[in-house]
Amino acid sequence: MTEEEIFAVLRAQIIDVLPEAADVEITLDHSMRDLGANSIDRMDVVIAAQEELGITVPNAALTGANDLRSLVSVFREHLGARA
């Protein structure tokens, strides 16, 4: 799965949890906090994206993911490990 495909999953989950983000051009440089997500919103997005991607990422691997680019990278690593 490409980074663009993973980002599309994340973007869709962000809009699902934060409908107001649909009016924003979401980029890889955004953090979910930038988009108005509180800690519960961020958890909901991450869990839903993992479920859609069919992966489980340990919380420790997520701690350094401060923007969507780094989150996509973490998800991609775990997708590659699953293959």
Residue ranges per domain, the chain?
3-82
This prediction's pTM: 0.92
Residue positions counted in the chain: 83
Instruction: Render pLDDT for 5-62 as a digit per residue (tens, 0 to 9).
Output: 999 999 999 999 999 999 999 999 999 999 999 999 999 999 999 999 999 999 999 9
Q: By C-alpha distance, which of 6, 1, 25 is closest to 69?
A: 6
CATH, domain range 3-82: 1.10.1200.10
Instruction: Render pLDDT for 56-80 as a digit per residue (tens, 0 to 9).
Output: 999 999 998 999 999 999 999 999 8
For residue 24, give Cα distances in angstroms to 7, 36, 42, 54, 77: 15, 11, 17, 27, 27
